[in-house]
Structure 1
C-alpha cells in the first residue's frame, strides 16, 4: 500500500466527519426526540439522551469509506480486519446501549443493582441485558485480536469492562468525553512501546474519525443540550478497550485492566462526583467547556 493511499485515508478520516456532523446531529436529534428518549440531568432538567448515536453513525460511515478505499488499493488483510472489528464492535455496543437508553430504567444502577434485581425480584433489567450483550461482544472480538489464553482473557476483560468505565463518568455534561480523551492519550503514549508499526497505523487510522466526531459533539454534550447516554458511553468505552488491546504491551494491558476493576469496585461504594467536587483542580477540569 503506497503513501498516497494512506494520505487519502487520513484526509477522509479528518474531513468526512466534518461534513457529516450537522446533518447527522439534526437527523439523530429528531429521531431521539420522536421516540421520547429523554432523561433528567443532574439539575433535574429533561435532556435528550442516546446522543452517542451521532458518533456511531459518523464513524461507521467514515470507516466504511476508508475500507472501500483501502480495499481497492489492495491494503493488507490485517489492516482491513482492524477496521471491520472496530466498527462492528462499536456498532454492537451502541445497540446494547440504545436498548438501555430506550428502556429508561434510571432506578437500577451498578452491578449490585442489576444483579439484585435479578436475584431478589427475578427481573431482568435492560442494564443486565446490556452487560450480557456487551460481554458476548467482547468475547467475540477478543478472539480475533489476541493469541493465547492469557492475552485473550486480558483482552476480553478490557473490551467488556471499558464501556462500563465510561458509563461511570457519564454523570455530568462533557465528563465522559474528557475521560475518553485522557485514556486515548495514554494509549497513544503506550503504543510507542508495544505495537507493531503496521498495527498501530491500522488502529489510529480508523480511530481518527471517532476522535474528530467527539470534538465536534463536545459542545452539545458539555452545553447540556444532549447526553451521550449509554449508546455513546458504550461506544467510546469499547473504542478505548480495543485501542489498548491492539497497541499496548500485554503487561500494560493487564495493569490497565486491574485499574479498571479497581475503579469499578470503588464506584459501588463511593461517588466520583463528590470526589471531583471536593478537589478544586478536578472541579475546574470537570467544569471546563460548560
Structure 2
C-alpha cells in the first residue's frame, strides 16, 4: 500500500510538470485561432478560457492514474472517484466554454439571467451554464451518497462552488488564490476530522489539478491568459467535490451556507470594491502580478 501511494504521488506531481509546456503552447495557439480574446479590467486584450489547460492536464493525468491504480489492484470506489471527478470537471468546463464563446457579456448575476428569461423569454449563455451545471451536480452526486439529506447538500455544493470561483475571476490571479484558500480549508478540516483512507485517494486525483494551477498562475496573474468561465467552473467543481468527499457532513453544510451567503452578497456588493478598500486584502490580491 505504501509503495502504491508513493508511486501515485509521483504520477500526480510529475505528470502535470511534464506536459505543462506542450499544453501551454498548444492552447495558446488554439485559443488565439478561435478568437478567444477579451478585454480585461485594465482594458488590455488577453486570451480567455485558459482554464482549458487545467482541464486537459487533469484529464490526461487522471487517465494515467486510473490505469496505474487498476494495474495495482485499487478497489472500485477509488477508481470511481477519479472517473466522477474527471467527468464532472469536463462537463462543467464545457458549460463554461459555451459562456466564454458567447458575446452575451452584458447580463450579470443570477438576477440578470432570470430577468432576461422572464422579460425577453430568452435563455442566456449564463442561464445555460446554470442549468447544465445544476444537472451535472445532480448526476455526479447520485454516485456519492444514498442519504437524501447528504445528497441535497452534495448537489448544492457541486452546483454552487463553480459559481463561487466565477465571482472572484475578475482580476488576474484572484480566482486561483481563492481556489488555493478553499483547498487549504479542506486540508484543515480533513486533519481535524481524521480523513479516511478513501478520502486520501481523492486527494491523489486532486493533486494534479493543484500542480497545474500553480504552473498556470504566473500566466494568469501576469495578465497573459484568463481562466475564463471554463477554468473557474472546473476549479470550482473540484472544490465542491473535495468538500463532499473528504469533509464531514456538518462541515459540508457549513461551507454550503457560506457559499450561498457569498452568492447572495455578490448580487448587491462588489467584491472588487471591498478588496480595494481593505489594505491587507488589496496587497494579497495584488501579490504575484
TM range (shorter): over 0.9
Return the offset for 1:166. Answer: 0.2
Return the offset for 1:25. Answer: 0.8
User: Residue 129 of structure 1 corresponds to which residue in structure 2?
Assistant: 128
CA distance in 2, matches of 1:19, 1:105: 37
> Is residue 248 of structure 2 the alignment partner of residue 271 of structure 1?
no
Alignment check: 8 A CA contact 1:195 1:247 kept = no
CA distance in 1, matches of 2:195, 2:168: 31
* Unaligned 5+ runs, structure 2: none
Q: What TM-score comes out, normalization by structure 2 length?
A: 0.98
Query: Which aligned pairs between 1:1-290 and structure 2 lie closer than 5 A?
Result: 2-194=1-193, 196-290=195-289
- CA offsets, 1:216-239, max 9 Å, x none? 000000000010000000000000
CA distance in 2, matches of 1:27, 1:145: 35
Alignment check: 8 A CA contact 2:141 2:154 kept = yes
CA distance in 1, matches of 2:78, 2:91: 20
CA distance in 2, matches of 1:128, 1:195: 39
CA distance in 1, matches of 2:258, 2:178: 14
CA distance in 2, matches of 1:277, 1:196: 37
- CA offsets, 1:144-174, max 9 Å, x none? 1123110000000000000000000000000
What is the DSSP-based 3-state SS (H/G/I as helix, E as strand, rest coil) of the residue aligned with 1:172? coil
CA distance in 2, matches of 1:31, 1:120: 37
Return the offset for 1:195. Answer: 6.0
Q: Which runs of 4+ in 1 moved over 2 A?
A: 192-197
Alignment check: 8 A CA contact 1:195 1:248 kept = no
Alignment check: 8 A CA contact 2:51 2:228 kept = yes
CA distance in 1, matches of 2:63, 2:44: 37
CA distance in 2, matches of 1:76, 1:207: 18
CA distance in 2, matches of 1:228, 1:271: 20
Q: What TM-score comes out, normalization by structure 1 length?
A: 0.98
- CA offsets, 1:190-241, max 9 Å, x none? 1124465222211110000000000000000000001000000000000000
Return the offset for 1:47. Answer: 1.1
CA distance in 2, matches of 1:54, 1:76: 29
Work out the number of aligned pairs and report it.
Answer: 289
